[in-house]
Amino acid sequence: MPRENVNDLMVFLAVAREKSFTRAAAKLGVSQSALSHIVRQLEARLGIRLLTRTTRAVSLTEAGERLFQGVGPHFDEIDAQLDALTALRERPAGNIRITASDHAINCIIWPKLQRFLPDNPDIKVELIRENGLSDIVTERFDAGVRMGEQVAKDMISTRIGPDFPFAVVGAPSYFDSMGIPEHPQDLVRHNCINERLPTYGGFWAWEFEDNGKEIRIRVEGQLAFNNSYQSVEAALHGLGLAYVPEDVALAHIAKGDLRRVLQSFSPHWDGYHLYYPSRRQSSPAFVALVDALRHRS
């Protein structure tokens, strides 16, 4: 295959994965106009349109999807084999992309990376904050992080954090004006701060336990966010009740800026697990990172 065809296919795959000429250009380090020109040349040589372009999005045509599914895995395998060659180096090296929630990054991954990275200067780690459940294969991540119960059966997983409780918290000023809920069902009469999870397509239902029975409460309120830290910030200003991982709120509870309620109803959630495809050929860099992130009780 002529070299220009290989280069053009690599450009096409980048645009197809990013679904954007702008993001693909930034990732490849070339101009957007250059990428557009290369794709047009490829389409002209093949005699068929591969991408549908609008002012707001880029999508694959039927032919483009067929080419993407047929060629993409072969390039992925080449990348995997090249990464595997780092085993011949004296020190592990390579790039590792991980998708995780803001809470998992802040409380579990980042503290461990601060100790790991200085001793492994040839390993580069890219952390992508996403609170949804990404398809790591399609999105070309090396690994993802989820709570244990959410890990797909066809993935290898390694526990990287302990089980942890959630906490319902509010500012003292909020409770002074609105009262204190004594049971999770009382939350339907309170101003609660919702959290939207993209995977579920809506607001997350607050989950509790009462004598071993699971309770799910659909709360209402003036505010909604897609991460716990902004919810805590809003609660600190007396704008409603937040339901967040306990460690996000502990410092504020200790200072008296937040008050915790319904503690006896709040269950412990499965701890975070790092997961990755079972067919992935793990590089020495990836093996080293997994070991560094592994939870040791």
Does 84 reside within a domain? Answer: no
What confidence category does residue 204 fall into, taking pLDDT thresholds of 50, 70 and 90? confident
Specify the pTM: 0.67
Rounded-to-integer distance, Cα 210 and Cα 110, Å: 34
190 and 263 together in one domain = yes
What confidence category does residue 152 fall into, taking pLDDT thresholds of 50, 70 and 90? low
Structure tokens at 224: 């909604």
Q: What is the pLDDT of residue 89?
A: 60
Q: Which residues pair with 242 in a beta bridge?
A: 169
Does 36 reside within a domain? Answer: yes
Q: What is the pLDDT of residue 87?
A: 57
188 and 49 together in one domain = no
Number of domains, the chain: 3
User: Taking Cα atoms as reference points, which of 193, 172, 168, 176 lies closest to residue 256?
Assistant: 172
Q: How far is CA 98 from CA 95, 126, 141, 265, 267, in A?
A: 10, 6, 6, 33, 28
Rounded-to-integer distance, Cα 50 and Cα 48, Å: 6
Which domain, by its residues, includes 114?
Answer: 89-162+271-293
185 and 236 together in one domain = yes
**Average of per-residue pLDDT across 182-189:** 94
CATH number for the domain including 66? 1.10.10.10
220 and 200 together in one domain = yes
151 and 185 together in one domain = no
Of 63-77, 165-179, 202-216, least confident by mean pLDDT is: 63-77
173 and 264 together in one domain = yes
Q: What is the pLDDT of residue 30?
A: 81
CATH number for the domain including 130? 3.40.190.10
253 and 210 together in one domain = yes
Q: Is the pLDDT of residue 86 over 70?
A: no
DSSP symbol at 148: G
Q: Which residues pair with 213 in a beta bridge?
A: 210
Does 82 reside within a domain? Answer: no
**Higher per-residue pLDDT: 237 or 201:** 237
Total Cβ atoms within 10 A of residue 9:
19
| Side chain identity, residue 214 | E
